């Protein structure tokens, strides 16, 4: 029996002992019921945990509104992420984005592979905050609202950029400046452009170690960008920030 492959990004308790799982796969997102998955001795327990890569099979139910998880196996439980609070926090932010915004994405094959590679990198990297940012940046491309860095958003000119026009969603050249209400400029834009344009397969810790530390500026930029262009504010980030402040 050939099982589908997917990553559990959400597992909510359902009734007394079951869970409702959200699984991202190359074919799309599945919501299914894992019976008795909250019981430690249940066969469904191990592969019904958030942040687990699994092989799975689901079937339609005639008596339940959810599809039923009938078979599963653990491929990767990402224990190196789960044992590191900071890496886990970055992963939960990534899952929050994926859960709420994947409905607007058509290319699930690319989304799944991108998520898969990102989690693999998070397991071994010391630069987990950068991979959180890389995911946020490249997800904008898949959502069709990626920032434009390679040309002027007004005239298409590819040189003499003056700044990033926030509401225009991209760079502007010297000849097209004038009525911008919110602009960004500075070296951190070059860091964003590098992370946005470089394929994740070509990014490693050696490259990330050479980048200036612009994490605060980039996160501020991305928070504003997601809220303006997608109306999205991460509840996971707010909760994790409050937890971090309480420590």
pLDDT tens for 115-170 read 999 999 999 999 999 999 999 999 999 999 999 999 999 999 999 999 999 999 99
- Domain membership flag for residue 118: yes
Q: Are residues 72 and 186 in the same domain?
A: no
- Domain membership flag for residue 167: no
CB proximity list for 204: less than 8 A, separation 6 or greater: none
Q: Using a cut of 0.85, tell me whether the model's pTM lies above it.
A: yes
CA distances from 5 to 1, 21, 34, 95, 190 (A): 13, 14, 16, 17, 36
Q: Give the CATH number of the domain where residue 89 resides.
A: 1.20.1440
Domain boundary among 61, 77, 93: 77
pLDDT band at 246 (very low <50, low <70, confident <90, very high): low
What is the rounded distance in angstroms from the CA atom of residue 16 to the CA atom of residue 21?
A: 15
Question: Do residues 225 and 167 make contact, with C-beta atoms less than 8 angstroms apart?
Answer: no
What is the rounded distance in angstroms from the CA atom of residue 102 to the CA atom of residue 7?
A: 13
User: What is the average pLDDT across 59-77?
Assistant: 87
Q: How many CB atoms within 10 Å of residue 19?
A: 25
- Domain membership flag for residue 69: yes
Per-residue model confidence as pLDDT tens digits over 3-45: 999 999 999 998 889 999 999 999 999 999 999 989 988 898 9
User: What is the average pLDDT across 165-176?
Assistant: 94
Q: Are residues 16 and 36 in the same domain?
A: yes
Question: Do residues 97 and 136 make contact, with C-beta atoms less than 8 angstroms apart?
Answer: yes
Please count the structural domains in the chain: 2
Q: Is the pLDDT of residue 245 over 80?
A: no
- Domain membership flag for residue 175: no
Q: Are residues 125 and 56 in the same domain?
A: no
- Domain membership flag for residue 94: yes
What is the rounded distance in angstroms from the CA atom of residue 144 to the CA atom of residue 123?
A: 28
- Domain membership flag for residue 14: yes
Q: Which residue has the higher pLDDT, 178 or 223?
A: 223
Tokens of 94: 């990534």
Q: Are residues 67 and 100 in the same domain?
A: no
- Domain membership flag for residue 174: no
Domain boundary among 77, 102, 131: 77
What is the rounded distance in angstroms from the CA atom of residue 52 to the CA atom of residue 7?
A: 6
Residue spans of alpha helices (H) in 198-234: 205-209, 215-230
Q: How many CB atoms within 10 Å of residue 130?
A: 23
Range of the domain at 59: 4-77
CB proximity list for 171: less than 8 A, separation 6 or greater: 148, 149, 150, 151, 152, 153, 161, 162, 163, 164, 165
């Amino acid at each position: 029996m050939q099982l589908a492959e997917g990553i559990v990004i959400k597992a909510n308790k359902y009734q007394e002992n079951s869970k409702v799982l959200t699984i991202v796969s190359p074919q799309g997102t599945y919501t299914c019921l894992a019976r008795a998955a909250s019981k430690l001795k249940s066969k469904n327990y191990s592969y019904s945990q958030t942040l687990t890569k699994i092989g799975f099979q689901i079937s339609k139910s005639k008596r339940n509104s959810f599809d039923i998880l009938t078979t599963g196996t653990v491929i990767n439980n990402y224990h190196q992420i789960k044992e590191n609070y900071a890496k886990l926090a970055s992963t939960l932010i990534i899952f929050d984005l994926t859960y709420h915004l994947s409905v607007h994405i058509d290319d699930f094959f690319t989304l799944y592979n991108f998520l898969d590679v990102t989690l693999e990198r998070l397991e071994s990297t010391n630069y987990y905050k950068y991979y959180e940012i890389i995911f946020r940046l490249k997800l904008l491309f898949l959502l069709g609202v990626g920032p434009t860095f390679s040309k002027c958003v007004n005239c298409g000119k590819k040189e003499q950029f003056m700044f990033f026009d926030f509401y225009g969603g991209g760079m502007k050249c010297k000849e097209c400046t004038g009525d911008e209400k919110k602009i960004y400029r500075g070296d951190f834009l070059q860091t964003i452009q590098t992370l946005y344009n470089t394929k994740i397969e070509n990014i490693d810790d050696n490259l990330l170690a050479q980048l200036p530390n612009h994490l605060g500026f980039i996160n501020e930029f991305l928070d504003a960008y997601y809220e303006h262009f997608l109306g999205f504010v991460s509840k996971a980030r707010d909760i994790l920030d409050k937890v971090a402040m309480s420590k």
